[in-house]
């Protein structure tokens, strides 16, 4: 399997170790101390790095995790919070600006990256950085970034068992559904329904479809989607429906079955993707891998290179050299 997917189990374990081995509690940056119980954890990052925050938020139910994808950290965040700045390349302007914004305001920041300016800016100020191994592109480095963040957070929060989430990666790799699903979706816009507790899988799938298969995709999160997106099924559109079915809680599981029934009443273009795993982390990692493989197969069907993301590079070039906007 190309694009490094077969390396995920090994990279997941290694990266978790990297985060766990960081001696973060002993760090001090001027008056900023890292030996504390954070009232919240703010995870900042964009795109393939930003999705890490979404997966961590869904997986660490009960912890106060806020995902923020912009040039600064929300105004209400103060030194009782921990900021985790995730950037695969370490060159993403939004993430560098938000990490520096936090440090300037006396908020402890830890970086997770392969290096770049994020690493040098943070290390230059004495802030901790976990350096993870490289991948073909940021999104292919998901296990590297995700498990390193979980390793860092294990110093502060209780983390779900990571072993099942790693062993299920083999099941996703061996699954035969990616080829079938890609064929099903070809030449259509996928509309992805998922429950709110597993929303990161739907967003990761959308992002992979955008970047790997150069395809637009719609994400419909239940219960909110029951009040708007669902109405679109009444007309015939060039859309294929994907229902992500997992286990969250009785009410949301029931609602997802109801959504499936309603969509199937209007359309026969529906596929259900069943997530494996007992924890949200396992389900989201399994889903991210399985559906990532779908996006690669779809790129193959379209005869395009999954790796190239030229418009992202153009936009990054356009904002290079401007000053961080002040919060
Ligand atoms: C490209 C990709 C993008 C990047 C995003 C942020 O593969 O996945 O979504 O992740 O442009 O860049 P990094 O991850 O380097 O901070």
Q: Cα of 102 to ligand 1 centre, how many Å? A: 21
Reduced to 3 states (helix: H, G, I; strand: E, B; else coil), residue 124 is: helix
The pLDDT score that the predictor gives to residue 1 is 59
Between CA 102 and CA 80 the distance in angstroms is 12
Q: Cα of 49 to ligand 1 centre, how many Å? A: 6
Q: Is 114 in the pocket of ligand 1 (CB under 6 A)?
A: no
pLDDT at residue 304 above 80? yes
Give the atom of ligand 1 at the shortest distance from the alpha carbon of 312: 11
Between CA 100 and CA 121 the distance in angstroms is 8
Residue range 195-199: mean pLDDT, rounded: 98
Residue whose CA lies nearest to ligand 1 atom number 10: 48
pLDDT at residue 326 above 90? no
pLDDT digits (tens, 9 = 90+) for 282-299: 999 999 999 999 999 999
Share of the chain above pLDDT 70, in %: 99
Q: Cα of 265 to ligand 1 centre, how many Å? A: 38
pLDDT digits (tens, 9 = 90+) for 133-158: 999 999 999 999 999 999 999 999 99
Q: Cα of 299 to ligand 1 centre, how many Å? A: 18
Q: Is 92 in the pocket of ligand 1 (CB under 6 A)?
A: yes
The reply to whether the predicted model has a pTM over 0.95 is yes
Maximum alpha-carbon separation in the chain: 62
Between CA 201 and CA 141 the distance in angstroms is 16
Residue range 295-323: mean pLDDT, rounded: 95
Residue whose CA lies nearest to ligand 1 atom number 12: 92
The pLDDT score that the predictor gives to residue 70 is 96
Residue range 243-266: mean pLDDT, rounded: 98
Residue range 40-69: mean pLDDT, rounded: 97
The pLDDT score that the predictor gives to residue 2 is 79
Give the atom of ligand 1 at the shortest distance from the alpha carbon of 118: 16
């Amino acid at each position: 399997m190309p694009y490094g997917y077969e390396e995920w189990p090994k990279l997941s374990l290694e990266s978790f170790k990297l985060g766990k081995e960081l001696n973060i509690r002993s760090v001090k940056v001027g008056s900023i101390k890292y030996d504390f119980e954070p009232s919240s954890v703010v995870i900042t990052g964009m795109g393939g790095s930003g999705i890490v925050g979404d997966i961590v938020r869904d997986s660490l139910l009960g912890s106060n995790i806020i995902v923020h994808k912009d040039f600064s950290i929300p105004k209400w965040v103060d030194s009782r919070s921990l900021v985790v700045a995730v950037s695969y390349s370490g060159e993403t302007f939004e993430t560098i600006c938000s990490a520096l914004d936090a440090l300037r305001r006396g908020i402890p920041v830890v970086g997770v990256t392969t290096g770049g300016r994020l690493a040098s800016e943070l290390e230059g100020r004495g802030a901790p950085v976990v350096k993870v191994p490289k991948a073909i592109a940021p999104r292919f480095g998901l296990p590297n970034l995700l498990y390193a963040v979980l390793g860092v957070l294990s110093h502060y929060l209780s983390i779900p068992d990571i072993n099942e989430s790693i062993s299920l990666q083999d099941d996703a790799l061996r699954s035969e559904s990616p080829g079938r699903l890609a064929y099903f979706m070809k030449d259509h816009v996928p509309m992805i329904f998922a429950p709110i507790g597993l929303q990161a899988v739907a967003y990761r799938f959308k992002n992979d479809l955008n970047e790997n298969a150069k395809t637009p995709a719609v994400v419909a999160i239940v219960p909110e989607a029951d009040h708007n997106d669902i109405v679109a099924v009444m007309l015939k559109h060039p859309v294929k429906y994907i229902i992500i079915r997992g286990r969250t809680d009785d009410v949301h599981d029931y609602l997802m079955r109801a959504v499936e029934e309603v969509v199937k009443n209007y359309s026969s273009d529906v596929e259900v993707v069943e997530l494996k795993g007992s924890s949200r982390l396992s389900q989201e990692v399994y889903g991210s891998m399985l559906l990532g493989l779908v996006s690669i197969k779809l790129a193959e069907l379209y005869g395009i290179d999954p790796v190239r993301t030229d418009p992202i590079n153009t936009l990054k070039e356009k904002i290079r050299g401007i000053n961080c906007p002040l919060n």
